[in-house]
């Protein structure tokens, strides 16, 4: 194996770890076309490999084109889906409503406020604020169990 070729002593399929590393390199898009072309027949075989005399140029397979293109497309599809899934998960996390107030709290507030402001002017007497807050249940108000002296502090 020559060092100037894409399949060389560092990048090859001779052992499982080297094959996984080379396929990871292909999955990330680093010169996968050149690796595919180096796996086609017609290239000079490694002098240390087992080949019969006259078969110096029979290393490789035409199946390499199908294999590498399908492998790259599958990996690109998975990486894009993973990227989109991370973005969607973060978007969902950031737009989630963490408020402890629900629509029923607003309905209760409007109902009780309308008792203190029957003409719907948007104002109530300052003396009615404490009693209003004591009638509204927590978390928006104090609730009925709150003593008057605590509510007025």
Q: How many angstroms separate the first and last alpha carbons of the chain?
A: 86
Q: How far is CA 74 from CA 18, 69, 125, in A?
A: 20, 9, 69
| Contact in structure between 136 and 116 (CB atoms under 8 Å) | no
- Asked whether residue 85 falls in the same domain as residue 110, the answer is no
pTM of the model: 0.53
Of the pLDDT bands very low, low, confident and very high (cuts 50, 70, 90), residue 144 is: confident
pLDDT for 83: 92
Residue 72: what pLDDT?
A: 93
Residue 3 falls inside a structural domain? no
Q: What are phi and psi of 63, to 5 degrees?
A: -65, -15
**pLDDT of 58:** 66
Residue 8 lies in a domain: no
pLDDT of 48 reads: 66
**Domain co-membership, 75 together with 113:** no
Residue 91: domain span: 16-95
Report the pLDDT value the prediction gives residue 74, as an integer from 0 to 100. 93
Mean pLDDT lowest for which of 14-23, 46-55, 59-68, 128-137?
46-55
Task: Judge whether 61 lies within some domain.
Answer: yes
Q: Report if residue 41 sits inside a domain.
A: yes
d(C-alpha 110, C-alpha 112), whole Å: 6
Residue pair 138/150 in contact (Cβ under 8 Å)? The answer is no
> pLDDT tens for residues 55-93?
666 678 889 999 999 999 999 999 999 999 999 999 888
Helix, strand and coil content of the chain, in percent to the nearest 5, comes to 50, 0, 50
Number of domain units in the chain? 2
Q: Say whether pLDDT at 128 is over 60.
A: yes
- Give the pLDDT mean for 38-64: 73
Comparing 121 with 149, the larger pLDDT belongs to 121
Q: Judge if 81 and 133 occupy the same domain.
A: no
Who contacts 43 (Cβ-Cβ below 8 Å, separation ≥6)?
A: 5, 57, 59, 60
Q: Is the domain of 21 the same as that of 71?
A: yes
What percent of the chain is modeled with pLDDT above 90?
Answer: 29
pLDDT at 139: 80
């Amino acid at each position: 194996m020559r060092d100037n070729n894409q399949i060389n002593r560092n990048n090859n399929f001779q052992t499982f770890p080297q094959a996984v590393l080379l396929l990871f390199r292909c999955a990330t898009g680093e010169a996968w076309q050149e690796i595919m072309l180096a796996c086609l027949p017609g290239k000079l075989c490694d002098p240390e490999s087992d080949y019969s005399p006259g078969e110096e140029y029979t290393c490789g397979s035409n199946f390499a084109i199908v294999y590498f293109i399908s492998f790259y497309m599958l990996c690109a599809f998975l990486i894009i889906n993973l990227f989109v899934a991370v973005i969607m998960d973060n978007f969902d996390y950031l737009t989630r409503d963490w408020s402890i107030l629900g629509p029923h709290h607003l309905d209760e507030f409007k109902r009780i406020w309308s008792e203190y402001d029957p003409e719907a002017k948007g104002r109530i007497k300052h003396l009615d604020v404490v009693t209003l807050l004591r009638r509204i249940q927590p978390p928006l108000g104090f609730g009925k169990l709150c003593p008057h002296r605590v509510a007025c502090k």
